[in-house]
C-alpha cells in the first residue's frame, strides 16, 4: 500500500549561530546576513516521511513550502534525500504573513492536493518558534492532528501509532488518517543527500528560475518532466484576498527587547550545606525555581 | 554544517584541473549513458558539477558522522562474534550512511549500479574519509578491488559481484600469509580444482587481512601444484555467503584500530577463478596493488590534512609566555612546512590519479573497439606514467603523513602525548601507511626503474617545458638546477655498474626525483592559482636543501664504503 504524504517545510534564516548584526535596528531579522537553511525540525519531519516511503513502496512524498522564489531550494534539497517533488507557494500577496495567514495559504494548497493520507511538518520553525502553523493547518483542513511526534511507530489499516515527546516522558497515541503530525527535533535525524538522486534532481527548477536563467525550459521539461518544481501563486489557490499576507495577519510586533544581562555582583559559594541552603533560598525568592 | 569538502578549497582546485576535460571525455564515452540513466551527466560541465555535488556528500558524512565517531571507534574496535566480524558502532553507522547515500561502487559502470566516476573524485572521497577517520577509509577504499573484476573478470563474475559492490557490500584482498609478506611469490594457500564439481576449493591460512570478513574476497592462491614461485599463483574469488572461512583472530594493532585485521582459515572454501591461471600475482595482483597503493596515498594525504589542522588549531589557541604559540618562529615554521608539504603531496596524488584515469579508461574502451594508433601511443604513455608515479605517491604521502603527524604532536607539547586530543590517534593511524601495501623500501624498488631508465627525468623535463607565468620563472630556474644535480647523481651511481651500490642509493635518488616533481607540480598549481605561489616558494626552499644534501652524500660515497654498513 502506498501512501500519499505531504511535508510542510520552511526555508528559514540560520539563527543558530547569530552574530551581532543578526537583528536590524527596527527589531526585525536581518535576513541578508543569515544564511537560508532548511528549518531543522522540518528535516526531522521529512525523515519520518521517507521512512514510511521505505516501508511502503509506492508512497509519494511531496513538499509544500511557502516563501520567496529562492525557497525552491528547500524542495530540491528534499528531492536529493528522497522526496518526489514539491510545490512552492510564492506570491507578493503572501508576504508579511503571520501564522494565521500562513496556515490559511498552506491549507488552500493542501486542500487542492487532496486526497492525501498524511501531512507531516516540523514542530516549529527556528525563526519564530511559534509551533502554530501545523496545528492551524490541521484545523483549517478539518483533520485530526498529533503534535510533538518523536517516532511514527506503525501504520496499520489507516490507523497511525505515534510516540509523542512530552516534557517529562512520552506517550503513545493513535489516530486515523488523514492526519497531520508535527515532528519534534528529538526524532530521527534526516538522512543525508543520496548521490544518485542529487545528480538526477540537481537541475530541478521552477518555471521562474528557468526564466531567470534564460533557459529553454520547454525542451528540458518535456524530456525530463520530473525536473519541474511546481509553483503556485495566489491565483492558483482561489483565496479570500483579505486573508492573505500582511492584510490577513492580526499579529503586530509592537516592540522587540534585547535582553542584556547586567548584573555585576558575584557571590562565591562553597559546597557546604549552609551555602547550598542560601543558594536555594535565593533561587526560590527570585522565582527561578519552585 | 561542517563539511570536509567545502572547507578545503584545494580539493575543488584539483577537480578543476585542465586535464579533467580529457579524463571525463574518455570516462563518459561521449555521454552515451545520458539516454539510459537519469543520473548520468549530459556534458563536461555537468560531469564536474556532479563530481562536486557527490564529493560534497562525502564531505558532509565524513565531517558529521565519521569524524565524531573516530575516537569511540578507536577505543571500541571490531570484535568477533560467532565467527563474524562486528564493526564498532561508529563504523557501522558510517558504513550504513555511505551505503544509503549510494557512495559505494563510485568508479564502477552505471550498468552495475555504480556512479561511473573517474579516479580523481573517487580518490578525493578516500582522502576526505581518511581526514575524518583513517580506519574508515580502509573499509570504504577496498571497493577499489572491484576494478580488478571489471578489468579481468568474465561476464559471470561481473554480474555476480559488481552489482553487490555497488549495493554496498565490502571487499578484501587476501594476499599475505605468515611466511609471505613482502615476498608474495611465496604464498602457499592451496587451490585445488574439483573436475566433477567444476569448482575450485581453497585450503590454507591468510594473515593480516584488512577487513578479512568482507562480502567479496580476492584471494591469491597456489593453483599449480609443485611450484614455489609467483608463476604458480592465481587470483580466486571467495564469496562470504558460502561461509567456509573461519576468522581465527583479530590483530590488536597500534593504529587504524577500527579496521579489522584478520587471520583467516580457509577450509575447503569454494572459489571462482578470476582471469587466467598463473597470472594471479604477476598481472592481477599487481593491478590490484597499484589501485590499493593510490588508495593508501589518499588515506595518507587525508591524515596529513587532519594532522596539519590539529596543529594549527592548537597553536592558535594555546597561550604561553602571554601569547599564542603560533607566534613563535619555532612553531610557525613547523606548521607552514606541514601545510606546504601537504599541498605538494596532494598535487602528486591527484596528478597520479589523473594518469591512472586516462590509461584505465583506454583499457575499458579497448575492450569494446580497437584503439587508433594515436590512442594506443597515448594509452601506453599514461600507463607508464601511472606506473612510475604510483610508488612515488605511496612513498611520499605515507612518509609525509608520519612526519607531519609527528610534528603536529610536537606542537601539542605534553597535551599531544595524552589521549585528550585527536593527534595521538592520528599519529598512531599514520604509522601503518608506510608499511602496508608495500613498505616504503619496496616502493623504492618499484620506483627506481623510472630513475635508471630516465623515465622520471623525461617527465621532469616535460614539466620544465610547460608554459608558465614569467613571474614564476625564478622557481623553474631553481628546479632546473636541482634537475641537473639529480641527473648527475644518477649518472654517478650508474657509472659504478654495481647493483648493490645502486640499491644503497636508490631511495635517495627516488626522493630527489620526487621532490623535483612535487616542486614542479606546485609551480604549475601557482600558475593556475596565485594562492599556491607562496607554497611553491617555501616547498622549493625545503627540497633545495634536501636534494643538495643527498647530492653531496652520493658524491662522497664509494662502492667500497658499503662494507662499513654491513652487519
Q: What is the CATH number of domain B440-560?
A: 1.20.120.470
Q: What is the pLDDT of residue A22?
A: 76
Asked if B108 and B116 touch (Cβ cutoff 8 Å), the reply is yes
Encode pLDDT of B15-26 as tens digits: 999 999 999 999
Which has the closest alpha carbon to B335: B359, B310, B360, B371? B310
Write out chain B's pLDDT in tens, 567 residues.
Answer: 899 999 999 999 999 999 999 999 999 988 999 999 999 999 999 999 999 999 999 999 999 999 999 999 999 999 999 999 999 999 999 999 999 999 999 999 999 999 999 999 999 999 999 999 999 999 999 999 999 999 999 999 999 999 999 999 999 999 999 999 989 999 999 999 999 999 999 999 999 999 999 999 999 999 999 999 999 999 999 999 999 999 999 999 999 999 999 999 999 999 999 999 999 999 999 999 999 999 999 999 999 999 999 999 999 999 999 999 999 999 999 999 999 999 999 999 999 999 999 999 999 999 999 999 999 999 999 999 999 999 999 999 999 999 999 999 999 999 999 999 999 999 999 999 999 999 999 999 999 999 999 999 999 999 999 999 999 999 999 999 999 999 999 999 999 999 999 999 999 999 999 999 999 999 999 999 999 999 999 999 999 999 999 999 999 999 999 999 998
Q: What is the pLDDT of residue A27?
A: 62
With beta carbons under 8 A apart, name residues in chain A contacting B49: 202
Residue from A196, A198, A201 to probe the interface with B (highest B Cβ count within 10 Å): A196
Contacts by B13-17, CB closer than 8 A, 24 or more apart: B13/B525, B13/B528, B13/B529, B14/B120, B14/B124, B14/B346, B14/B347, B14/B350, B15/B48, B15/B51, B15/B52, B15/B55, B15/B120, B15/B121, B15/B124, B16/B48, B17/B120, B17/B350, B17/B354, B17/B528
Question: Looking at the predicted structure, is the pLDDT value of residue A42 above 80?
Answer: yes
Write the residue in B40, B50, B102 that is nearest to A194 by C-beta.
B102
With beta carbons under 8 A apart, name residues in chain A contacting B61: 192
Q: What is the pLDDT of residue B472?
A: 97
Question: In chain B, where does the domain assigned CATH 2.40.110.10 lie?
Answer: 171-278
CATH superfamily, with its number, for domain B171-278:
Butyryl-CoA Dehydrogenase, subunit A, domain 2 (2.40.110.10)
Domain A4-248 has CATH 3.40.50.620: yes
With beta carbons under 8 A apart, name residues in chain B contacting A199: 39-41, 50, 53-54, 115
Question: Looking at the predicted structure, is the pLDDT value of residue A164 above 80?
Answer: yes
Question: To the nearest whole angstrom, how far is the Cα of B58 from the nearest Cα of chain A?
Answer: 9
Transcribe A170-200 into DSSP letters: EEEEEEESSEEEEE-TTSPPPP---HHHHHH
Q: What is the pLDDT of residue B211?
A: 97
Q: Which residue stretches of chain A are H helix? A: 40-55, 72-81, 99-112, 133-141, 195-201, 207-212, 217-223, 234-237, 273-285
Burial class (CB in 10 A: 0-12, 13-18, 19+), A30: middle
* Phi, psi angle pair for A190, to nearest 5°: -70, 140
With beta carbons under 8 A apart, name residues in chain B contacting A191: 97, 100-101
Asked if B105 and B113 touch (Cβ cutoff 8 Å), the reply is yes
- List, in sequence order, every residue forming a beta bridge with B107; answer none if it has no partner: none
Q: Cα–Cα distance between B329 and B4 in angstroms, integer?
A: 29
Q: Do A196 and B102 touch (CB under 8 A)?
A: yes
CA B506, distance to chain mean position in Å, is 21
Question: Looking at the predicted structure, is the pLDDT value of residue A256 above 80?
Answer: no
Query: A193 and chain B: CB distance < 8 Å anywhere?
Result: yes
Write the residue in A192, A193, A196 that is nearest to B39 by C-beta.
A196
Query: A226 and chain B: CB distance < 8 Å anywhere?
Result: yes
Residues 6+ apart with CB under 8 A from B216: B145, B146, B161, B164, B165, B169, B170, B171, B172, B237, B239, B240
With beta carbons under 8 A apart, name residues in chain B contacting A198: 50, 53-54, 57
Per-residue pLDDT band at A213 (split at 50, 70, 90): confident
Q: Do A195 and B102 touch (CB under 8 A)?
A: yes
Strand B261-273, strand B199-210: pairing: antiparallel
Query: A195 and chain B: CB distance < 8 Å anywhere?
Result: yes
Q: What is the pLDDT of residue A168?
A: 87
Question: To the nearest whole angstrom, how far is the Cα of A200 from the nearest Cα of chain B?
Answer: 4
Q: What is the pLDDT of residue A190?
A: 96
Residues 6+ apart with CB under 8 A from B534: none
- List, in sequence order, every residue forming a beta bridge with A161; answer none if it has no partner: A154, A174
With beta carbons under 8 A apart, name residues in chain B contacting A196: 39, 102, 115
Question: To the nearest whole angstrom, how far is the Cα of A214 from the nearest Cα of chain B?
Answer: 18
Q: Do B39 and A192 touch (CB under 8 A)?
A: no
Residue of B nearest to A220 (CA): B42
Per-residue pLDDT band at A271 (split at 50, 70, 90): confident
Encode pLDDT of B385-442 as tens digits: 999 999 999 999 999 999 999 999 999 999 999 999 999 999 999 999 999 999 999 9
Sign of the four-CA dihedral B249, B251, B256, B257: positive
Write the residue in B53, B60, B100 that is nearest to A202 by C-beta.
B53
Q: Do A195 and B54 touch (CB under 8 A)?
A: yes
Per-residue pLDDT band at A268 (split at 50, 70, 90): confident
Q: Do A202 and B50 touch (CB under 8 A)?
A: yes
For B419-445, b/e burial (b = at least 16 CB within 10 A) is: eebbbbbbbbbbbbbbbbbbbbebbbb
Q: Do B101 and A200 touch (CB under 8 A)?
A: no
Strand A145-156, strand A159-166: pairing: antiparallel
Q: What is the pLDDT of residue B419?
A: 96
Helix orientation angle between B373-411 and B329-368, rounded to the nearest 10 degrees:
150
Question: To the nearest whole angstrom, how far is the Cα of B241 from the nearest Cα of chain A?
Answer: 26
Cell of A63: 513538499
* Phi, psi angle pair for B370, to nearest 5°: -70, 140
Q: What is the pLDDT of residue A45?
A: 98
Encode pLDDT of B184-221 as tens digits: 999 999 999 999 999 999 999 999 999 999 999 999 99
Parse chain A into domains and list their residue ranges.
Answer: 4-248
Q: Cα–Cα distance between B245 and B215 in angstroms, integer?
A: 12
Q: Cα–Cα distance between B515 and B525 in angstroms, integer?
A: 15
Query: A197 and chain B: CB distance < 8 Å anywhere?
Result: yes
Question: To the nearest whole angstrom, how far is the Cα of B158 from the nearest Cα of chain A?
Answer: 21
Q: What is the pLDDT of residue A15?
A: 77
Q: Cα–Cα distance between B295 and B288 in angstroms, integer?
A: 11
With beta carbons under 8 A apart, name residues in chain B contacting A195: 39, 54, 57, 101-103, 115
Encode pLDDT of B102-154 as tens digits: 999 999 999 999 999 999 999 999 999 999 999 999 999 999 999 999 999 99
Residue of A nearest to B106 (CA): A195
Question: Looking at the predicted structure, is the pLDDT value of residue A290 above 80?
Answer: no
Question: To the nearest whole angstrom, how far is the Cα of A217 from the nearest Cα of chain B?
Answer: 15
Query: A198 and chain B: CB distance < 8 Å anywhere?
Result: yes
Query: A202 and chain B: CB distance < 8 Å anywhere?
Result: yes
Q: Which run of H or E residues covers position B282?
A: none
Q: Do B41 and A224 touch (CB under 8 A)?
A: no
With beta carbons under 8 A apart, name residues in chain B contacting A193: 53, 57, 60, 101
Helix orientation angle between B119-132 and B67-76, rounded to the nearest 10 degrees:
60
Q: What is the pLDDT of residue B103?
A: 97
Length of chain B (residues): 567
Question: To the nearest whole angstrom, how far is the Cα of B162 from the nearest Cα of chain A?
Answer: 17
Q: What is the pLDDT of residue B169?
A: 97
Which has the closest alpha carbon to A81: A161, A173, A198? A198
Cα(first)–Cα(last) distance of chain A, in Å?
A: 51
Q: Do A196 and B115 touch (CB under 8 A)?
A: yes
Per-residue pLDDT band at A169 (split at 50, 70, 90): very high
Length of chain A (residues): 290
Cell of A232: 503556485
Q: Which run of H or E residues covers position B496?
A: none
Cell of B227: 611450484
Question: To the nearest whole angstrom, how far is the Cα of A206 from the nearest Cα of chain B?
Answer: 19
Residue of A nearest to B55 (CA): A195
Question: In chain B, where does the domain assigned CATH 1.20.120.470 lie?
Answer: 440-560
Q: What is the pLDDT of residue A32?
A: 73
Question: Looking at the predicted structure, is the pLDDT value of residue A29 above 80?
Answer: no
Per-residue pLDDT band at A26 (split at 50, 70, 90): low
Amino acid at each position: 500500500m502506498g501512501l500519499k504524504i505531504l511535508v510542510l517545510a520552511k526555508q528559514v534564516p540560520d539563527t543558530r549561530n547569530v552574530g551581532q548584526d543578526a537583528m536590524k535596528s527596527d527589531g526585525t531579522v536581518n535576513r541578508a546576513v543569515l544564511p537560508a537553511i532548511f528549518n531543522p525540525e522540518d528535516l526531522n519531519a521529512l525523515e519520518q516521511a521517507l521512512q514510511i516511503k521505505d516501508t511502503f513502496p509506492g508512497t509519494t512524498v511531496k513538499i509544500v513550502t511557502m516563501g520567496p522564489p529562492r525557497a525552491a531550494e528547500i524542495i530540491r534539497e528534499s528531492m536529493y534525500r528522497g522526496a518526489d517533488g514539491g510545490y512552492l507557494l510564492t506570491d507578493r500577496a503572501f508576504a508579511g504573513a503571520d501564522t494565521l495567514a500562513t496556515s490559511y495559504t498552506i491549507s488552500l494548497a493542501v486542500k487542492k492536493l487532496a486526497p492525501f493520507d498524511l501531512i507531516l511538518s516540523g514542530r516549529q520553525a527556528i525563526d519564530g518558534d511559534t509551533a502554530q502553523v501545523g496545528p492551524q493547518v490541521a484545523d483549517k483542513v478539518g483533520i485530526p492532528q498529533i503534535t510533538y511526534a518523536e517516532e511514527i511507530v506503525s501504520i496499520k489499516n489507516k490507523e497511525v501509532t505515534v510516540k509523542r515527546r512530552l516534557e517529562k516522558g512520552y506517550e503513545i497515541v493513535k489516530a486515523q488518517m488523514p492526519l497531520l503530525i508535527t515532528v519534534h527535533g528529538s526524532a530521527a535525524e534526516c538522512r543525508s543527500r543520496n548521490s544518485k538522486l542529487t545528480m538526477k534532481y540537481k537541475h530541478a527548477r521552477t518555471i521562474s528560475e528557468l526564466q531567470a536563467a534564460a533557459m529553454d525550459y520547454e525542451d528540458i521539461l518535456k524530456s525530463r518532466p520530473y525536473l519541474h518544481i511546481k509553483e503556485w501563486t495566489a491565483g492558483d489557490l482561489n483565496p479570500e484576498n483579505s486573508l492573505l499576507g500582511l492584510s490577513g495577519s492580526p499579529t503586530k510586533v509592537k516592540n522587540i527587547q534585547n535582553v542584556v544581562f547586567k548584573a555585576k555582583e558575584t557571590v562565591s559559594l562553597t559546597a557546604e550545606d549552609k551555602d547550598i541552603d542560601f543558594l536555594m533560598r535565593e533561587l526560590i525568592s527570585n522565582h527561578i525555581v519552585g | 554544517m561542517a563539511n570536509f569538502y567545502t572547507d578545503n578549497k584545494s580539493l575543488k582546485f584539483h577537480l578543476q584541473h585542465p586535464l579533467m576535460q580529457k579524463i571525463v571525455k574518455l570516462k563518459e564515452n561521449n555521454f552515451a549513458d545520458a539516454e539510459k540513466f537519469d543520473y548520468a551527466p549530459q556534458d563536461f560541465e555537468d560531469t564536474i558539477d556532479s563530481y562536486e555535488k557527490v564529493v560534497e556528500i562525502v564531505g558532509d558524512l565524513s565531517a558529521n558522522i565519521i569524524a565524531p565517531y573516530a575516537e569511540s571507534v578507536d577505543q571500541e574496535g571490531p570484535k568477533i562474534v560467532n565467527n563474524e566480524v562486528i564493526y564498532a558502532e561508529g563504523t557501522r553507522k558510517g558504513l550504513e550512511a555511505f551505503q544509503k547515500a549510494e557512495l559505494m561502487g563510485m568508479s564502477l559502470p552505471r550498468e552495475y549500479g555504480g556512479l561511473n566516476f573517474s579516479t580523481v573524485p573517487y580518490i578525493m572521497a578516500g582522502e576526505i574519509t581518511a581526514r575524518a577517520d583513517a580506519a574508515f577509509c580502509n573499509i570504504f577504499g577496498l571497493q577499489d578491488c572491484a576494478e580488478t573484476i571489471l578489468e579481468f573478470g568474465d561476464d559471470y563474475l561481473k554480474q555476480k559481484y559488481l552489482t553487490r559492490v555497488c549495493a554496498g557490500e565490502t571487499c578484501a584482498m587476501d594476499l599475505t600469509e605468515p611466511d609471505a609478506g613482502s615476498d608474495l611469490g611465496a604464498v602457499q594457500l592451496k587451490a585445488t580444482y574439483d573436475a566433477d564439481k567444476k569448482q575450485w576449493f581453497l585450503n590454507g591460512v591468510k594473515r593480516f587481512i584488512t577487513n578479512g570478513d568482507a562480502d567479496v574476497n580476492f584471494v591469491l592462491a597456489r593453483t599449480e601444484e609443485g611450484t614455489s614461485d609467483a608463476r604458480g599463483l592465481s587470483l580466486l574469488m571467495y564469496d562470504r555467503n558460502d561461509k567456509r572461512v573461519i576468522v581465527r583472530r583479530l590483530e590488536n594493532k597500534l593504529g587504524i584500530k577500527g579496521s579489522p585485521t584478520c587471520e583467516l582459515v580457509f577450509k575447503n572454501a569454494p572459489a571462482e577463478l578470476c582471469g587466467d591461471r598463473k597470472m594471479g600475482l604477476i598481472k592481477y595482483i599487481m593491478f590490484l596493488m597499484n589501485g590499493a597503493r593510490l588508495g593508501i596515498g589518499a588515506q595518507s594525504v587525508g591524515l596529513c590534512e587532519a594532522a596539519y589542522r590539529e596543529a594549527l588549531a592548537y597553536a592558535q589557541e594555546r597561550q604561553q609566555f602571554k601569547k599564542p604559540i603560533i607566534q613563535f618562529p619555532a612553531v610557525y615554521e613547523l606548521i607552514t612546512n606541514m601545510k606546504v608539504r601537504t599541498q605538494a603531496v596532494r598535487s602528486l596524488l591527484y596528478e597520479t590519479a589523473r594518469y591512472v584515469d586516462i590509461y584505465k579508461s583506454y583499457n575499458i574502451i579497448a575492450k569494446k573497439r580497437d584503439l587508433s594508433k594515436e590512442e594506443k601511443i597515448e594509452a601506453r604513455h599514461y600507463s607508464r606514467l601511472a606506473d612510475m608515479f604510483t610508488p612515488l605517491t605511496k612513498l611520499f604521502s605515507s612518509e609525509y603523513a608520519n612526519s607531519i603527524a609527528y610534528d603536529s604532536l610536537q606542537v601539542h607539547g605534553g597535551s599531544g602525548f595524552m589521549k585528550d586530543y585527536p593527534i595521538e590517534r592520528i599519529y598512531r593511524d599514520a604509522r601503518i601507511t608506510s608499511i602496508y601495501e608495500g613498505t616504503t623500501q619496496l616502493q623504492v624498488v618499484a620506483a627506481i626503474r623510472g630513475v635508471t631508465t630516465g623515465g622520471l627525468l623525461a617527465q621532469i623535463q616535460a614539466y620544465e617545458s610547460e608554459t608558465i607565468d614569467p613571474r614564476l620563472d625564478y622557481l623553474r630556474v631553481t628546479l632546473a638546477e636541482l634537475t641537473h644535480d639529480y641527473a648527475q647523481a644518477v649518472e654517478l651511481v650508474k657509472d659504478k655498474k654495481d647493483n648493490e651500490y645502486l640499491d644503497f642509493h636508490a631511495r635517495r635518488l627516488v626522493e630527489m626525483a620526487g621532490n623535483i616533481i612535487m616542486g614542479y607540480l606546485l609551480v604549475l598549481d601557482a600558475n593556475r592559482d596565485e594562492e599556491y605561489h607562496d607554497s611553491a616558494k617555501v616547498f622549493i626552499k625545503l627540497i633545495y636543501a634536501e636534494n643538495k644534501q643527498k647530492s653531496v652524500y652520493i658524491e662522497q660515497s664509494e662502492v667500497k664504503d658499503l662494507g662499513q654498513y654491513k652487519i
